[in-house]
Amino acid sequence: MWDMLKEKFDSNNSRAGQLEVRRSFNQSRVQSGQTIENYVALLLRYRKTLAGTNNAISDETFKAHLLSTSPKDYDNYVDILMEQQDQHTIDSLVQRLLEREKTLQSQQGGNLSASASASALTARYLRNQQGLGLSAVLVSRVSS
């Protein structure tokens, strides 16, 4: 009986399972001490899980959620990005937020400059993912 209930509610193929993943996506927020990179990877896992279902997360929904749940340190930057939201793909939006994260880290005494870190991430993307996009890099890094 427990196995049957678990299968019904845990399965991403079941409506209940899909709704639980969508609910988790909608309720997700950046946690204290969590990097934007890890937060984006979490959101992308939810999106990937629901891809091809009736509860799939659209590009626009994903971008709006990402921008509206960004930390307070990003408020001014997010305001600018929201004005340009239609011009950004998910990958370019994530890239901008990662650059902002590195800038904030360097202002707080981090070792890497924003441009060096962004360049390293872009090089890794080009070398290892061959066109899958930055979001695929983040998902693969967290999944492994």
Is the distance from CB of 135 to CB of 89 less than 8 angstroms?
no
**pLDDT, position 41:** 94
d(CA 76, CA 95): 17
> Is residue 10 predicted with pLDDT exceeding 60?
no
User: What's this model's pTM, rounded to 2 decimal places?
Assistant: 0.68
pLDDT, tens digit, 9 for 90 and up, residues 53-85? 999 999 999 999 999 999 888 888 888 888 876
Instruction: Supply the range of the domain harboring residue 103.
Output: 2-143
> Is residue 5 predicted with pLDDT exceeding 80?
no
* Whole-Å CA distances, 110 to 1, 103, 106: 53, 9, 4
pLDDT, tens digit, 9 for 90 and up, residues 87-122? 888 998 899 899 999 988 888 875 444 445 555 555
Q: Residue 61, class by beta-carbon neighbours within 10 Å (0-12 exposed, 13-18 middle, 19+ buried)?
A: middle
Residues 6+ apart with CB under 8 A from 131: none
Q: Is 123 helix (H, G, I), strand (E, B) or coil?
A: helix
Please state the domain count of the chain.
1
CA-based angle 64:91:34, to the nearest 5?
70
Taking Cα atoms as reference points, which of 126, 121, 131 lies closest to residue 41? 121
Give the ranges where 28-133 is alpha helix by DSSP (H): 36-50, 59-68, 75-83, 90-107, 114-128
**pLDDT, position 51:** 93
What are the tokens at 94? 């994530």
